Amino acid sequence: MEAWSSRIKNRIDGVMILLLFFVFFLSLLFLYLQHIDERSKNYYNYKKTVEKLHLYNQQLDSTFIRSYRYLDNDKITHTSKMFEVELEFLQNNELTQIFGIELQKILLKIADKYNRKIELVESFKTLNARITSSVYYLYELSRQIKNNGKLQADMESLLSNILFKIGQVFLDTDIDALHLKEDLKKIGTQQYRDEDLVYFYKHVEQFLQDVKLIQKILVEQNMLNLDETINRLNQLLEKEYLQSQKQEDRITLIFFIFAFIILIVLINTYFRVLRKKEEVNYLAYHDTLTHLPNRTEFERYISGLIEKKSKGMKAFAILFIDLDRFKGINDTLGHDIGDKMLIILSKRICKVIGEKNFLARIGGDEFVALIERKKDIKKIEVLVEEVASAIREPIQIKEYSLNTTASIGIARYPKDGRDKSTLLRHADSAMYHAKDMGKDTYAFYSKKLSVEIERRLKIEQELVYALKRNEFSVSYQPQYRLDTKEISGVEALIRWHNKMLGNVSPEEFITVAEDTGLIVELGYYIFREACKTYMAWKEQGVHINFIAINMSSVQLRQYDAFEKLKAIIEETGIDAKHIELELTERYIMEYTTDKLTILDDLRALGCRISIDDFGTGYSSMSYLRSLSIDTIKIDKSFIVELPYNKQDVEVSQAIIVLSQSLGYEVIAEGIETLEQEQLLQSFHCEMGQGYYFAKPMSSEKIVSFYHEKQNK
């Protein structure tokens, strides 16, 4: 979870960085767009200025229209000044930096041409004024000459003709085409006769010269072509603007694409973080294997329920479901199979309890169900039975057909507890009780149970130190031949005396030791003690065929069990053929599926193998054939009611006959009466063990017991 949360944090940091980057990028974009805006504004300013140059230039050009007339000098001066101002504006801004020499060249040219134009305008103005006034003067003079009346008629018409032509000039007719000079020559021959005519002549001559000059100015002004130069400036601006606009468009596009990508990444990351968060949340409250809610979620749910219920006070029940011997399946077939099994079982349980009820997995093979709808015990029992039988159904995984069962503990709200932990603890206690009752069953929580559980807990606690504190001892119970009453063997039985708990029966603490794993160490202790004792007896002249030692399957599953047992045998010097190992029927069954070899190894060493508590397990007689064992020990539960229980009589007899037919020796345990002994003897049972012959006793007592029997 830690790692998750730190990863999430890193992600969020990442998102923050990305976000900052995005904001930074956007501000850059904003600034850039601002810059572009500024540029285009500038561009329009320049364009406008250039347009103004055009306008002023045209206004100046209009000065040169050849129809001689009155010129508005003020306007011309104003226009030329404005032209200068605009030109200066272009010369004195960043444009020159952008366009460099080309622009400077054009601007210089414009300035040059403009200056020349102004000169031309000035000359034009002067000439124009002169021509206009000379035309007025010529009209005046011709009228005077005509009034004098001294003029010949042809001369008079010549004057009129000349005046007409001068008028034509005003109307923009080419002066050369009018042959004014020839007319003037004609006057030249007559001029000496009239003083006025002389003036007239001179003024026309002057007029012609002025017109020539003005024409020259006009030609030059035409050649000047300032307009075109301004146009070139315009083109230059436009070209640059278009180019920069293209580039800007490209950059803007890239900017937008980048911003878009970052935005997409940002959104994507945001959703990913959200999803991961959900996932982490899910992981925090769910079991990854079965996808059921986990313990935390269960506790949350039950707390909420209690809070709700405390107002309405409705009852509900908790089922604590623990699979029996699941660890064995996990250990022998592997976790893969175990996991698959859990998934299948979780689905089955869900199906039985229904969607309305709550199921959680709170441990490896532990489930809890919360049953809300069923109130009375009967209905709960029916449901629990259904759950148990659903679990009991064989499970097919790969080539294995697996059987498992569950022990179920039930605690009810509010009767058995008013808070989640008490309820859960009590359901757990009830489950343990169900296990103690032989597994594959269920139990309701009760106060009495609590006491038992407490005792079990204490046993668990005390057991841890019992070996160190030397609280264990070993008792020995003789086994004998039923026919001769000879002692054939002795079974070693562990005894525990604890200061607080007093004498604790092995029936009570062996399972605890097995559950906690302490049995391994304890087992070696018993094994060593038994072997040592056997050797001590031997020295004291007690010759017993073998010592029977109970072996827990938990111990034999240890990978180094054989080596360790062998080491103890060597260390104590006992001959292995004097050792009989008592193993439960259940272990023997599992042994064959587990493909273990330890029993064969021990047998090869010389040890005998005996099946303890035979008849209580599941093994069928036919299957017994294949086992590498020596002895079958009929469980005392078949003996206790002999000879009165007909069925037990038949079963025990059948076991004896069949075992012997398979070549196994048979021993009956728990013989308490003479009748029992006699009946078994009549069945040809070879050996027996029980209080009737001898109770378990200390090793010293065995010595005296042995000698007593010998002496008889």
Point out which residues bind ligand C2E (CB under 6 A).
477, 492-494, 505-507, 510, 526, 550-552, 582, 612-613, 636, 669-672, 689-691, 696
CB of 358 to ligand C2E, least distance (A): 39
Residues contacting residue 632 through CB under 8 Å, at least 6 positions apart: 610, 611, 614, 624, 655, 659, 664, 665, 666, 667
CB of 405 to ligand C2E, least distance (A): 21
**In terms of CB distance, is 420 or 528 closer to ligand C2E?**
528
Contact partner at residue 184 from Ca ion, ligand C2E, none, CB < 5 to 8 Å by partner kind: none
Candidates 333-341, 466-474, 520-528, 578-586; binding stretch for Ca ion (CB under 5 A): 578-586
CB of 694 to Ca ion, least distance (A): 15
Contact partner at residue 208 from ligand C2E, Ca ion, none, CB < 5 to 8 Å by partner kind: none
**In terms of CB distance, is 114 or 496 closer to Ca ion?**
496
**In terms of CB distance, is 270 or 692 closer to ligand C2E?**
692
Contact partner at residue 615 from Ca ion, ligand C2E, none, CB < 5 to 8 Å by partner kind: none
- CA 370 – CA 358 distance, rounded (Å): 5
Query: Interface with Ca ion includes 585 (CB under 5 A)?
Result: no
Pairing of strands 687-689, 665-669: parallel
Residues contacting residue 79 through CB under 8 Å, at least 6 positions apart: 56, 59, 60
Among 550, 553, 555, 653, binds Ca ion (CB under 5 A): 550
Residue 264 near residue 270, CB atoms below 8 Å = no
DSSP 648-704: HHHHHHHHHHHHHHTT-EEEEE---SHHHHHHHHHTT--EEESTTT---B-HHHHHH
- Three-state SS string over 188-254 comes to HCCHHHCHHHHHHHHHHHHHHHHHHHHHHHHHHHHHHCHHHHHHHHHHHHHHHHHHHHHHHHHHHHH
DSSP symbol at 618? -
**In terms of CB distance, is 416 or 669 closer to ligand C2E?**
669
- CA 46 – CA 237 distance, rounded (Å): 8
CB of 536 to ligand C2E, least distance (A): 18
Among 582, 590, 648, 665, binds Ca ion (CB under 5 A): 582
CB of 610 to Ca ion, least distance (A): 8
Residues contacting residue 170 through CB under 8 Å, at least 6 positions apart: 67, 68, 135
Preceding peptide of 643 cis, ω within 30°: yes
Structure tokens at 382: 């029916």
Residue 159 near residue 183, CB atoms below 8 Å = no
Candidates 54-62, 113-121, 606-614, 678-686; binding stretch for Ca ion (CB under 5 A): 606-614
Number of shown-chain residues binding Ca ion (CB under 5 A): 4
Angle in degrees, CA 115, 117, 118, rounded to 5: 65
Report the first-to-last Cα separation within the chain, whole angstroms.
Answer: 75
CB of 528 to Ca ion, least distance (A): 18
**In terms of CB distance, is 367 or 706 closer to ligand C2E?**
706
Contact partner at residue 248 from ligand C2E, Ca ion, none, CB < 5 to 8 Å by partner kind: none
DSSP 406-473: EEEEEEEETTT-SSHHHHHHHHHHHHHHHHHTTSS-EEE--HHHHHHHHHHHHHHHHHHHHTTTT-EE
**In terms of CB distance, is 298 or 693 closer to ligand C2E?**
693
Contact partner at residue 478 from ligand C2E, Ca ion, none, CB < 5 to 8 Å by partner kind: none
Which backbone phi and psi does 501 adopt, to 5 degrees?
-95, -10
Residue 629 near residue 591, CB atoms below 8 Å = no
Preceding peptide of 394 cis, ω within 30°: no
CB of 696 to ligand C2E, least distance (A): 5
Query: Interface with Ca ion includes 613 (CB under 5 A)?
Result: yes
Structure tokens at 352: 């039985």
CB of 509 to ligand C2E, least distance (A): 9
Contact partner at residue 510 from ligand C2E, Ca ion, none, CB < 5 to 8 Å by partner kind: ligand C2E
Candidates 308-316, 424-432, 548-556, 692-700; binding stretch for Ca ion (CB under 5 A): 548-556
Query: Interface with Ca ion includes 416 (CB under 5 A)?
Result: no
CB of 636 to ligand C2E, least distance (A): 6
3-state secondary structure of 318: strand
**In terms of CB distance, is 71 or 535 closer to ligand C2E?**
535
Candidates 222-230, 500-508, 582-590, 644-652; binding stretch for Ca ion (CB under 5 A): 582-590
CB of 612 to ligand C2E, least distance (A): 5
Contact partner at residue 494 from ligand C2E, Ca ion, none, CB < 5 to 8 Å by partner kind: ligand C2E
**In terms of CB distance, is 328 or 690 closer to ligand C2E?**
690
| H or E stretch covering 316 | strand 316-323
**In terms of CB distance, is 46 or 664 closer to ligand C2E?**
664
CB of 535 to ligand C2E, least distance (A): 18
Contact partner at residue 492 from Ca ion, ligand C2E, none, CB < 5 to 8 Å by partner kind: ligand C2E
Residues contacting residue 136 through CB under 8 Å, at least 6 positions apart: none
Return the closest-CA partner of residue 438 out of 619, 567, 586, 226: 586
Contact partner at residue 256 from Ca ion, ligand C2E, none, CB < 5 to 8 Å by partner kind: none
3-state secondary structure of 626: coil
**In terms of CB distance, is 372 or 452 closer to ligand C2E?**
452
Q: How many CB atoms lie within 10 A of CB 199?
A: 16
Among 297, 612, 665, 677, binds Ca ion (CB under 5 A): 612
Task: Using CB atoms within 10 Å of the CB of residue 632, give its burial: 0 to 12 exposed, 13 to 18 middle, 19+ buried.
Answer: buried
Structure tokens at 180: 């004014």
Residue 482 near residue 677, CB atoms below 8 Å = yes
Candidates 286-294, 300-308, 613-621, 693-701; binding stretch for Ca ion (CB under 5 A): 613-621
**In terms of CB distance, is 287 or 585 closer to ligand C2E?**
585
CB of 562 to ligand C2E, least distance (A): 17
CB of 469 to ligand C2E, least distance (A): 18
Contact partner at residue 347 from ligand C2E, Ca ion, none, CB < 5 to 8 Å by partner kind: none
| H or E stretch covering 66 | none
Residue 640 near residue 651, CB atoms below 8 Å = no
**In terms of CB distance, is 391 or 522 closer to ligand C2E?**
522
Query: Interface with Ca ion includes 580 (CB under 5 A)?
Result: no
Candidates 11-19, 122-130, 365-373, 579-587; binding stretch for Ca ion (CB under 5 A): 579-587
**In terms of CB distance, is 338 or 523 closer to ligand C2E?**
523
**In terms of CB distance, is 361 or 608 closer to ligand C2E?**
608
**In terms of CB distance, is 203 or 636 closer to ligand C2E?**
636
Contact partner at residue 526 from Ca ion, ligand C2E, none, CB < 5 to 8 Å by partner kind: ligand C2E
The radius of gyration of the chain's CA atoms, rounded to the nearest angstrom, is 63
DSSP 484-519: T--EEEEEEEEEEEETTTEEE-HHHHHHHHHHHTTH
Residues contacting residue 592 through CB under 8 Å, at least 6 positions apart: 626, 627
CB of 308 to Ca ion, least distance (A): 52
CB of 672 to ligand C2E, least distance (A): 4
**In terms of CB distance, is 615 or 670 closer to ligand C2E?**
670
What is the binding site for Ca ion (CB under 5 A)?
A: 550, 582, 612-613
